[in-house]
Each structure stands twice: as structure tokens, then as C-alpha cells.
Amino acid sequence: MSIDTATVARIASLARLKVTEAELEAMVPELNGILAWVEQLGEVDVTGIEPMTAVIENALRLRADVIGADPLTGGGIRDQVLANAPAAEHGFFGVPKVIE
């Protein structure tokens, strides 16, 4: 499967990456080269093989249903959460207007 400029533009849009026309042109052969190379996986007989879900068998745990059981990941740390925001306002993350 070979991809064209329109496909790369669509993928870039899905990935929320703004790309210029010149970047698009350069990416098409690069991505096609990589995709042509990974397509050799199609040679492998995977009949009856399950896709990998975990490399090391491990049981998922539940944490105690307690707010702030771990102070690092609990609540009540608004200012720390906002400390690195490019536009924190009134205790919230600021974004461009989304509702007219």
C-alpha cells in the first residue's frame, strides 16, 4: 500500500500536526519507504496467534477507593496542576473561545 500527499495530509490532520505543502511533499516518500519496509510482516504466518497484550504476565490491581490515598496523585493540588499551564486563568486552563 502506497500513500499519497492527500493521505499524509489527512493523517497529519488526525494527528493535529500543521504541515506545510513542502513538508508534505518531503514526507510522502519517507513514509512510503518505512511502510513498504514494515509490510514484510505480511509474510509471517500468524494463524492461531493472539496479539501481544502484555510482555510480562501481571495482574491489574485496584487501588483503595479513597480520595487522595496517595498525595502525589490525589486531589486538592489545583495550583500544582496549573503551575506549568501556558495560560492559567482564575484557577482554570485557558483556551481560545470554543462557543460563539
Partner 1 sequence: MTEITNLGVAALRDGISGGDFTAVEAAEAFNAAVAGASALNAFIVATPDHALESARKVDADRAAGKALGKMAGVPIGMKDLFATKGVQTTAASHILEGFTPEYESTVSQKLWEAGAGMLGKLNLDQFAMGSSNETSYFGNVISPWRRSDGGNTPLAPGGSSGGSSAAVAARLCPAATGTDTGGSIRQPAAFTGITGIKPTYGRCSRWGIVAFASSLDQAGPMARDVRDCAIMLEAMAGFDPKDSTSLDLPVPEWEAGLNADLKGKKVGIPREYRVDGLDADVARSWDEGIAWLKDAGAEVVDISLPHTKYALPAYYIVAPAEASSNLARYDGVRYGLRDLPDGANLQDMYAATRAAGFGAEVKRRILIGTYVLSAGFYDAYYTQAQKVRTLISHDFKNAFADVDVILAPTTPTAAFGLGEMVSDPLAMYLNDVFAVPASLAGLPAMSVPAGLNREGLPLGLQIVGRPFDEQGVLNAGLAIEQRAGFTARPGKWW
Say whether residue 33 binds partner 1 (CB under 8 A).
Answer: yes
**Cell triple for 94:** 485557558
Say whether residue 17 binds partner 1 (CB under 8 A).
Answer: yes
**Cell triple for 67:** 480520595
Say whether residue 29 binds partner 1 (CB under 8 A).
Answer: no
Helix (H) or strand (E) holding 35: helix 21-38
Say whether residue 70 binds partner 1 (CB under 8 A).
Answer: yes
CA distance 25 to 12: 13
Under rule CB under 8 A, how many of the chain's residues touch partner 1? 55
- Exposed / middle / buried, residue 19 (Cβ in 10 Å: 0-12, 13-18, 19+): middle
Can you give the binding site for partner 1, defined by CB under 8 A? Answer: 1, 3, 7-8, 11-19, 27, 30-31, 33-35, 37-42, 44, 46, 49-56, 58, 60-61, 63, 70, 72-73, 77, 80-81, 83-87, 93, 95-98
